[in-house]
């Protein structure tokens, strides 16, 4: 069977391609931009890649076309699929029908922390010999790949609330039907497809409706929006998590930055997590992963031991370089809350050392200017916040200065590099925060700092 994937170089669709190859299918795909590391990872598996969307890409007469949610009507290849009458499905539907059927699915949903928590949970299962399949929206450093079929009945999936395809506007996670569901948190995001927070809550409740009564839902006790979702109706046992609280799964911080904490289950200590990660968000991520692992039979002490060897995900506060007194990080920031918790964790770790946040507002929500005030205030832990104002952003970032005094707006990457070169004389921690490529700033900046 020949499967052709539109949007194959995205993390999710590229992961589907890898799994399809492991199932023995012939796989090809196209994307607007074909470049490493995804392109090399796919080509190494014998997957043919085509750059650009064209009707000719379908000349191989695939038996099935999987269409990514970034593509819409008017795209030349999408139009050709429809005109030729080819069979097509969304990525989530294909995953559900060809991979997740008969699996114990562990789904990780939430506005923040999906990729990290999915990676933690996959690693705990791997560490304990479960050999799970997984599909993750990033590259966990413990595995070096974003997806695999696995050799067991367990499959861990990052359960995204974004829509499935141009012809299926349901959230991706509605297709997955998890037995173990983590609801990490819920805030307004994806302003390009959701009109308001209530619309997102409704989709999350659709997910809750699919979890069996013999399954488990895991969520933080203090997330009001998740609690609202569960109040709409819930037919599944719910376990709560807390930090320095009283939930079933509770963490007692030993270090304020979250790098060391006790794990308690029903007030009984299960062990101490000591790791290089920081921030309360990662403590909550860990508790969710521990609770989910316990649901499939892994004892908490064994799961805690696995977390001690967890290496995080590429582009999650990844140290790129240490140059002349500057530590340069790459962080996949997409939302003000993620920015705030990441910088807060770093501040608690480094004390009074200088922190400079360099932000590219690239997510659809931030590009639409929805989070003006919250974005400005999320940068409070930084001594200086440098924000990139690209020509096509559509709103004036100088509005941020109304809410914070530590913000500098730069209209070009060259301006950012020049400013950071001056700031580097004082040393400190420079955090590049973007869920995209940040215009390729990484290498030129490192050269300038050297």
Q: What is the pLDDT of residues 17-65, one digit of tens each?
A: 999 999 999 999 999 987 767 788 888 888 999 999 999 999 999 999 9
pLDDT digits (tens, 9 = 90+) for 376-392: 888 989 999 998 888 77
With respect to residue 312, please indicate whether it lies within any of the assigned structural domains: no
d(CA 384, CA 418): 15
d(CA 407, CA 386): 6
Q: Which helix (H) or strand (E) holds 271?
A: strand 268-274
Query: Which is nearest to 359 in space by CA: 435, 449, 272?
Result: 435
Q: What is the pLDDT of residue 367?
A: 53
Q: Supply the DSSP symbol for 242.
A: E
pTM: 0.82
Q: What is the pLDDT of residue 366?
A: 57
With respect to residue 20, please indicate whether it lies within any of the assigned structural domains: yes
Is residue 49 within 8 A of residue 28, CB to CB? The reply is yes
256 and 405 in a single domain? The answer is no
Per-residue tokens: 293:
């692992």
CATH number at residue 221: 3.40.1190.10
The widest CA-to-CA distance across the chain, in whole angstroms, is 63
* Count of domains observed in the chain: 3
Query: Which is nearest to 154 in space by CA: 111, 117, 118?
Result: 118
63 and 107 in a single domain? The answer is no
Query: Which is nearest to 299 in space by CA: 273, 265, 254?
Result: 265
Query: Which is nearest to 189 in space by CA: 177, 201, 206?
Result: 201
Average pLDDT across the chain, whole number: 90
d(CA 237, CA 249): 14
With respect to residue 428, please indicate whether it lies within any of the assigned structural domains: yes
Specify which of 111-120, 290-299, 335-344 reaches the highest per-range mean pLDDT: 290-299
Query: Can you state the angle between helices 280-295 and 336-350, rounded to 10 degrees?
Result: 110
338 and 416 in a single domain? The answer is yes
- The least confident of 119-128, 354-363, 371-380 is 371-380
Model confidence at 103, in pLDDT bands (50, 70, 90)? very high
d(CA 352, CA 100): 48
| Cβ-Cβ contacts under 8 Å for 94 (sequence gap 6 or more) | 16, 64, 66
**Among candidate residues 281, 307, 333, the one where a domain is terminated:** 307
């Amino acid at each position: 069977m020949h499967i052709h994937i539109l949007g194959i170089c995205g993390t999710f669709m590229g992961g589907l391609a890898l799994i399809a190859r492991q199932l023995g299918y012939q796989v090809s795909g196209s994307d607007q931009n074909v470049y490493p590391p995804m392109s090399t990872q796919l080509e190494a598996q014998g997957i043919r890649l085509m750059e650009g969307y064209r009707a000719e890409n379908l000349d191989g007469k695939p038996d099935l076309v999987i269409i990514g949610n970034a593509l819409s009507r008017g795209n030349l290849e999408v139009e050709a699929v429809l005109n030729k009458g080819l069979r097509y499905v969304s990525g989530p539907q294909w995953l559900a029908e060809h991979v997740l059927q008969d699996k114990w699915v562990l789904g990780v949903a939430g506005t923040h922390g999906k990729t990290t928590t999915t990676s933690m949970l996959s690693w705990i299962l791997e560490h304990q010999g479960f050999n799970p399949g997984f599909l993750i929206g990033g590259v966990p450093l413990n595995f070096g790949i974003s997806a695999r079929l696995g050799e067991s009945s367990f499959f861990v999936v990052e359960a995204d609330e974004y829509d499935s395809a141009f012809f299926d506007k349901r959230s991706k996670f509605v297709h997955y039907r998890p037995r173990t569901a983590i609801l990490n948190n819920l805030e307004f995001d994806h302003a390009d497809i959701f009109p308001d927070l209530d619309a997102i809550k409704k989709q999350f409740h659709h997910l809750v409706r699919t979890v069996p009564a013999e399954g488990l839902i895991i969520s933080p006790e203090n997330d009001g929006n998740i609690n609202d979702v569960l109040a709409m109706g819930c037919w599944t046992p719910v376990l709560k998590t807390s930090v320095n609280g009283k939930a079933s799964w509770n963490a007692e911080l030993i270090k304020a930055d979250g790098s060391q904490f006790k794990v308690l289950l029903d007030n009984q200590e299960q062990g101490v997590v000591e790791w290089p990660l920081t921030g309360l968000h990662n403590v909550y991520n860990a508790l969710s992963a521990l609770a989910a692992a316990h649901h499939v039979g892994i004892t908490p002490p064994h799961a805690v031991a696995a977390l001690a060897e967890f290496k995080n995900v590429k582009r999650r506060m990844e140290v790129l370089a240490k140059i002349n007194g500057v530590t340069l990080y790459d962080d996949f920031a997409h939302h003000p809350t993620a920015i705030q918790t990441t910088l807060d964790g770093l501040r608690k770790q480094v004390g009074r050392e200088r922190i400079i946040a360099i932000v590219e507002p690239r997510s659809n929500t931030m590009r639409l200017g929805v989070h003006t005030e919250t974005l400005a205030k999320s940068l409070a832990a930084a001594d200086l916040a440098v924000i990139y104002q690209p020509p096509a952003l559509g709103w004036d970032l100088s509005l941020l200065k109304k809410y914070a005094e530590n913000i500098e707006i730069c209209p070009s990457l060259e301006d950012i590099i020049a400013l950071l070169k001056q700031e580097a004389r004082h040393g400190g921690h420079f955090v590049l925060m973007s869920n995209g490529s940040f215009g390729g700033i990484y290498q030129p900046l490192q050269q300038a700092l050297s």
